[in-house]
Amino acid sequence: MAGDERKCLDAGMDGYLAKPVVYERLHVEFVKRLGALDEDTSDAEAA
């Protein structure tokens, strides 16, 4: 439905994937999230 992504993001979600899931979009979202985890882990290790 139109506007679902905006509603979810406005509600505080980090991302949005609609069905049917497109592999390329899923991969991009995984890379974004895992990259953020790697940065968080690096910061924790440096402390």
Report mean pLDDT in 10-residue bins for the chain, 47 residues.
88 91 91 75 56
Dist. CA 11–CA 47, nearest whole Å? 32
Query: What is each CA distance from 30 to 3, 14, 16, in whole angstroms?
Result: 23, 12, 12
In one letter, which amino acid is 6? R
Per-residue pLDDT at 47: 55
CA-CA distances (angstroms) from residue 43 to 14, 20, 22, 34, 37?
A: 21, 36, 32, 14, 10
Contacts of 25 (CB under 8 A, 6+ apart): 17
